[in-house]
Chain A
Amino acid sequence: MDNKKIIVYTTPTCSYCVILKNYLKENGVEFEEVDVSKDEEVQKRMIEKSGQMGVPVTEINGDIVVGFDKGKIDEAIGL
């Protein structure tokens, strides 16, 4: 696993966000969390990048994974 920049877009109540964050933590993956419910600009950016309005969204060096899709996340991060 090389040093990839990982951003996780979340809201405070979303269940899959909790699961995703726990999964990354368990695997020792460092990430930056952004709460999109508090910042409309960031929210807009997430919607533009992912083409949809659900959370979580994970950005891995610019690649986007929507939802808690373990397979895609593993692949993108190299877990």
Chain B
Amino acid sequence: MAGGLPRKKISMYDVIIVGGGPAGITAGIYGMRKNLRTLLITKDFVGQTGSAGIIENWPGEKEIKGIELMQKLEKHLRHFGPEIREGDMVKKIQKENGAFRVITTEKEEVAKTIIIATGRNPRPLKVAGEERLTGKGVSYCVTCDGALFRNKKVVVVGGGDAGFMAALELKEYCEKVYIIENAPKVRAEEISLEKAERADNIEIITGAKIEEIKGDIMVESVVYEKEGEKKEIDAKGVFIAIGSIPATDFLNEIVEFNERGEIKIDPWTAATKTKGVFAAGDVTQIRDKQIVVACSEGVKALLSAYHFLKK
């Protein structure tokens, strides 16, 4: 820089954690306990866990609302005082002189190690009308939007466990719930299937492919095709429950992915293919997508980052 002005000092973090779900939060707690200079960047502290209804398998709580659990976790994290950037999103991570530059919507940061814990997003159906009518009758979250469809007809797309859980919640207050499944058979747990079959306002339609979600301003109907025949259901709401995809849009060649688009990690250390970059929780190929597992994966990733830094 000309004129001998002091260069802008860039402060380097020991670790930047991307994601504020159970994996990222737990990594953050351990980062502070290991005295690492820690920054956690997250859109919010809701995610999949915060959007879940009741959680019954978190040790220490017989049952707890997803959002309550997330608030407890967030509070615990804040208690240790890491730097937290909420409401921001990471756009890119670049390797640079043995460290990593993290570019977000708002600014840029540099860290010696990175932990990616961005979790998963709902899988879109990719049919006409879906994107345009999202938030206008199309939803991916019954806990969030279900209650707006009281006394209305709704369609649940997806005949797996998530679809049935959604339908069983919606049946309590909706006039009618249609479950539409592409495959010839539904794949839900027996207990949910029985409950759905007993309900007089749930209709299960299998071997049906959604073709279009219609509506000028709000959702008005759903068009599907079954056995070569086109049918239309009058419905004000469409809940899409066909699984999720790992949230990895911002990642480039610093990590490798498996055939499902999940980040490949070494199961012993949570290390990715790039030294200094670790990944944890549902965004990785780890088999069990569970909150408790995500937390422990977050710890694993952080401790591996710690050992890496001490080397």
Residue of A nearest to B148 (CB): A53
B19 proximal to A (CB < 8 A): no
Q: Is the CB of A13 within 8 A of B146?
A: yes
B50, B86, B147, B151 — which one has the most chain A CB atoms within 10 A of its CB? B147
A-binding segment of B2-10, B122-130, B136-144: B136-144
- Minimum CB–CB distance from B46 to chain A (whole Å) comes to 5
- How many A residues face the partner with a CB closer than 8 A? 23
The docked-state distance in angstroms from the alpha carbon of A68 to that of B148 is 17
Which A19-78 residues sit within 8 Å CB-CB of chain B? 19, 22, 36-37, 40, 43, 47, 51-55, 66, 68, 70-71
Given contacts A11-B145, A37-B150, A53-B218, 20 further A-B contacts (CB under 8 A): A12-B147, A14-B145, A15-B143, A16-B46, A16-B144, A18-B71, A19-B45, A19-B46, A19-B71, A36-B148, A37-B148, A40-B150, A47-B218, A52-B136, A53-B136, A53-B137, A53-B237, A54-B135, A54-B139, A66-B135
Question: Which residues of B approach A to under 8 Å, CB–CB?
Answer: 44-46, 50-51, 53, 66-67, 70-71, 86-87, 135-137, 139, 143-148, 150-151, 173, 217-218, 237
5 contacts between A and B (CB under 8 A): A19-B45, A47-B218, A51-B217, A53-B136, A53-B137
